[in-house]
Structure 1
């Protein structure tokens, strides 16, 4: 399967997008002749574009007889296209609502068992950051490695002086409506990243400003 940008690019073609939409709306799968009739192109053209969608992982293929007949003379099973299980999404600037959604869901589950929601939310956000920091294998100093993890989550870190300014909030839509809540999650997540990386001289603090994340990462001088 191609990457997300390649898959999105495959759907930029109007004919290919119409084919995908038609196939995706059919739970029982679609043969190339039926797809060709639906979009008004020859079968060989439909097959070319359908196979491209398969290459990108957007469609899957199986084989079955489309005539409904069985036994001798029923003909060979035909290739049948259906929507795959792949999910492809892209946004610019990058957003990461899956991450914050998992943090919120885990915190709510624990709160239903009697834990205080503010504390569980902070703990879950920090643990999510710690997991990302622990699994990161990049090299460099504390700020370099912190930037590597945070870039992977869409924060767009930029080195400014002795710290990192995060030029993008991956949870922007939520942050606009629930600013204090999401900014707290951001701070705890970034703090967890620093913990996971084993940073001894780097910290995360709230530093809200327009058109950027509310968290700033700062590196203090090493103790002598």
Structure 2
């Protein structure tokens, strides 16, 4: 799930773009994962409603949707004092239920962290480590490019020489184009935010992934990814050479 890169605003307000369907559920899941990583037992529908400025019934609807998807599990909260700030208030006559990430979500996080640690520790030379991360990303990117080509019925993207906005959007990076030429964009969210903060090599893999997508389109490019370049997010720039490459 994606996490917004920009610093979240204070208070209970949440950006309007995150109030719709999957975007809101993604934000809720991210928040619950963050709370449990910090040692909290989970969040109740009441707490989610307070955080996101929505009615507890609406919060419960989205939480139950995530339960059905297998991303969250629900269980009865331990009793807390009525005046406790951590009390899992749920409304009169309603059992106190909290929601926590499912094991598969934690397994995903653990797997990513383990792969990063293995890559970082198994290659002593920093430059060789970077090249290995880039090549892993390029392999991923070529796969994504092939899938993009198949899903489009063989037709070319609307802006083949610019950043692969549709692919990045589908992955959860929420690209925001800069200027009319669409040669650069901000990645305003990241589905691997916590892992990237702990293991910056993930950003290198993402750079390789974008290079692989562009190579899969048969284009020579000079690609630059600057993590956390501004409050908006990471800066991606793609410059295309006039000379095409052999995709094979």
Range into which the TM-score falls when normalised by the shorter chain: 0.3 to 0.5
**Which structure has more strand as a fraction of its residues?**
2
**For the pair shown, which has the larger CA radius of gyration, 1 or 2?**
1
TM-score normalised over the length of structure 1: 0.47
- Structure showing greater relative contact order (alpha-carbon pairs closer than 8 Å, 6 or more residues apart): 2
